[in-house]
Chain A
Amino acid sequence: MTTVEKAADKVAPPQTADPLHEQVEREFTVKARSQREQVFRRFVRNKQAMGGLILFLAILAICWIYPYFYRFGFNDLDATSRSVGPGTNGHVLGTEGLGRDLFANIMRGVQRSTLIILIAVALSLTIGLLVGLLAGYYGGWVDNVLMRLVDLILTVPGLVVLIVVASNFPNLRSATGIALILGLFGWLDLSRILRSQILGLREREFIEAAHALGASDIRIMFKHLVPNMLGSIIVWGTLAAATIVLAEATLTYLGFGVANDTSLGKLVSDGVSAASTRPWLFYYPGLMLVIIALCINLIGDGIRDAFDPSNKRVRA
């Protein structure tokens, strides 16, 4: 990933105004593309990934902008139409038991869920990056202690750790609180991925050169190692976002997640109990969650293929 490859697929068009010798020279040269350009081009050409990205952005745009124009607020109680089906009294997707509009709530839920994703990914990215860098770069006992710690946390099912921790903090039942808890335990796989990459990278010549030039450890880590692992970090971030959306929903369903707040997971779990009597409360939030998770996964896989087209790895 470090070398700048020259893409040979497109010959620069001959420029008629140029002198003849220059034209001949041009015939055999190819237009150089930076690695960033190549990755971007590969991603844009990936139909599934672009489809996912466009759909995802469209959903986000609608959910953040349309509430300003919609006739019902997410917390408005419409006493005249409680538990009505889609299309009644102007409620596009119907209402729930207190007369709150489902469509307005889904838009609000998506807003809160984006917030959860941003906070949780940012937090676990920071921790995972630090742990991975420390363990991989310094090696020795630092590596041993940190990685054994990760191993230990991984011996207990992740969902159960989240439940136990969340049960401790009954005051953190808002979207931001749950995001903090999810973020605190989301970094384990990232630190492992980065550590194993650094183990390979730190023996390379350019790191040795940086050492020889007197670069500090911090500089080597953040100027030389991190840019080289950017691909893995971005891919991890996208796929983690999908995991976080699902984990939040599951945690909320089990009664340890978002309680006095709106989130997509909250709407989906509330809908499950109403599945047989008011199916619209079950279907629409669930479909929204599935579509969002699907889009994020498609984007993530697209980015991975763009960074690493030779090796189509899968997650498991």
Chain B
Amino acid sequence: MFFFTVRRLLSSIVVLFASSLAVFALCVASFDPLAPYRTRQPAPPPEFFANLREQLNLNEPFISRYFSWLGGVLTLDFGESNGGTAVGPQLLGRLGVTARMVIAAMVLAVILAIIVGVLTAVRQYKPEDYLFTFLTYVLIALPTFWFAALLKEFVAIQFNDLVGQQIFYTIGEQSPAIELIGTRSEIFWDRLGHLILPTISLAMLSFAAWSRFQRAAMLDVLNSDYIRLARAKGLQRRRVLVRHGLRNALIPLTTVVALNVGLIMGGAVVTETVFVWHGMGEYLIVSIGRSDLFPVLGWLLVAAFFVILFNLIADLLYAVLDPRIRLN
């Protein structure tokens, strides 16, 4: 297991470096750091652009620009945006905001997917199965932003009106400046209130597919010989389902959840836009709109880092849960 871990870790690092090169190539081809000056009236003289190119190292060959950026990243310096603010602290702060939503959504989606998946598998071809199957099909067909807007405009606002009190917050990740005036518990409850709707809309994106997957895995296990043996030797149905069935049926789900991290991060961009969060997603959209090179680079690298990290976790977890993998 030790050598397996080391081998997987090393190959993940190689993939991360390759990915950073690919990301750099994509962004350098996409964004022109001089773009904001090109549309200025009156047009700046050519010497100005020449100076700027020299100043931003744009005359250097691609590889040396890549390595100077990478060298900075290794010391956690992600460069500066067009406006001159450092990208690193911005990314870090916004990552904290987005992580709240992403982690909460993943936990919610996994728990719901397991419950619904197991329920529909155990009660296969019964009314509950058909109900939830229909529900998941509809959820898979829903665009995230439309569902989020539906929650926001018609569920949350009408519910708040009904109760006469703001339970669900629909804008922002917290009330403005609450961290300056509120006590610790006030901040917590305020942020929680802001978190509920975005989490639900983000979780529903993955929940539907995961619960179908969990249902299939559970059915696969329930129809296997060792379950029949466990029943035949007289174990209780509940014990067979949980100890022998569920434990094995959870293994495939770990991989799927880990591999969907990229999907969720993409979905978080959408959810943040709908609920006007000041997180990673907003940063990305705004930076792309300004064709701002380093913030987008930083964003993509952070995303790639987490995707690769979760792939690694999935591999290791799978090897722990299913020893056949590492003995091949």
**Which of B145, B291, B300 is in CB contact (< 8 Å) with A160?**
B300
Q: List 16 A-B contacts (CB under 8 A).
A: A155-B15, A155-B19, A163-B285, A164-B26, A250-B144, A253-B145, A254-B273, A272-B146, A272-B149, A286-B150, A293-B142, A294-B138, A314-B213, A315-B213, A316-B209, A316-B256
Contact indicator A250/B145 (Cβ below 8 Å): yes
Q: With a 10 A CB-CB cut-off, give which of B260, B263, B266, B284 has the most chain A CB atoms.
A: B266
Contact indicator A293/B141 (Cβ below 8 Å): yes
By secondary structure, the B interface counts as helix
Looking at the assembled complex, report how far the CB atom of A189 sits from the nearest CB atom of chain B, in whole angstroms. 11
Q: What is the interface size of chain B, counting residues whose CB is below 8 A from a CB of the partner?
A: 54
Residue of A nearest to B299 (CB): A160
Contact indicator A250/B270 (Cβ below 8 Å): yes
Contact indicator A294/B153 (Cβ below 8 Å): no
A164 partner residues in chain B, CB cutoff 8 A: 26-27, 30, 288, 296, 300
B140 partner residues in chain A, CB cutoff 8 A: 242, 293, 297
A164-184 at interface with B (beta carbon < 8 Å): 164-165, 167-168
A313 partner residues in chain B, CB cutoff 8 A: 216
Looking at the assembled complex, report how far the CB atom of B215 sits from the nearest CB atom of chain A, in whole angstroms. 7
A236 at the B interface (CB under 8 A): no
**Which of B267, B273, B304 is in CB contact (< 8 Å) with A155?**
B304
B265 at the A interface (CB under 8 A): yes
A249 at the B interface (CB under 8 A): yes
**Which of B19, B26, B212, B266 is in CB contact (< 8 Å) with A159?**
B266
Contact indicator B300/A167 (Cβ below 8 Å): no
B289 partner residues in chain A, CB cutoff 8 A: 167, 255
Residue of A nearest to B146 (CB): A286
A7 partner residues in chain B, CB cutoff 8 A: none
Interface string of B129-170 (1 = CB under 8 A from A): 000000001101111111001101110010000000000000
A275 partner residues in chain B, CB cutoff 8 A: 149-150, 152-154
Distance in angstroms between the alpha carbons of A163 and B219 in the assembled complex: 39
B317 at the A interface (CB under 8 A): no
Contact indicator B146/A297 (Cβ below 8 Å): no
Q: With a 10 A CB-CB cut-off, give which of A152, A155, A253 has the most chain B CB atoms.
A: A155
B308 partner residues in chain A, CB cutoff 8 A: 155
B1-38 at interface with A (beta carbon < 8 Å): 15, 18-19, 22-23, 26-27, 29-30
Looking at the assembled complex, report how far the CB atom of B142 sits from the nearest CB atom of chain A, in whole angstroms. 6
Q: What is the interface size of chain A, counting residues whose CB is below 8 A from a CB of the partner?
A: 45
Distance in angstroms between the alpha carbons of A160 and B280 in the assembled complex: 12
B119 at the A interface (CB under 8 A): no
Task: Report if A155-B307 is in contact (Cβ < 8 Å); known contacts: A298-B137, A315-B209.
Answer: yes
Q: With a 10 A CB-CB cut-off, give which of A154, A156, A168, A289 has the most chain B CB atoms.
A: A156
Contact indicator A156/B141 (Cβ below 8 Å): no
Residue numbers of A with Cβ under 8 A of B are: 148, 151-161, 163-165, 167-168, 242, 246, 249-250, 253-256, 265, 268-269, 272, 275-276, 282, 286, 289-291, 293-294, 297-298, 312-316
B222-261 at interface with A (beta carbon < 8 Å): 256, 260
A155 partner residues in chain B, CB cutoff 8 A: 15, 19, 22, 262, 304, 307-308
Distance in angstroms between the alpha carbons of A160 and B301 in the assembled complex: 12
Looking at the assembled complex, report how far the CB atom of A170 sits from the nearest CB atom of chain B, in whole angstroms. 11
B269 at the A interface (CB under 8 A): yes
Looking at the assembled complex, report how far the CB atom of A45 sits from the nearest CB atom of chain B, in whole angstroms. 16
Residue of A nearest to B142 (CB): A290
B210 at the A interface (CB under 8 A): yes
Contact indicator B288/A282 (Cβ below 8 Å): no
Distance in angstroms between the alpha carbons of A73 and B51 in the assembled complex: 54
Contact indicator B141/A152 (Cβ below 8 Å): no
Residue of A nearest to B304 (CB): A155
B152 partner residues in chain A, CB cutoff 8 A: 275
A151 partner residues in chain B, CB cutoff 8 A: 15
**Which of B216, B265, B274, B299 is in CB contact (< 8 Å) with A314?**
B216
Contact indicator B307/A160 (Cβ below 8 Å): no
Contact indicator A163/B288 (Cβ below 8 Å): yes
Contact indicator A290/B307 (Cβ below 8 Å): no
Distance in angstroms between the alpha carbons of A183 and B256 in the assembled complex: 24
**Which of B141, B263, B266 is in CB contact (< 8 Å) with A242?**
B141
Task: Report if A316-B210 is in contact (Cβ < 8 Å); known contacts: A156-B262, A249-B146.
Answer: yes
Contact indicator A314/B215 (Cβ below 8 Å): yes
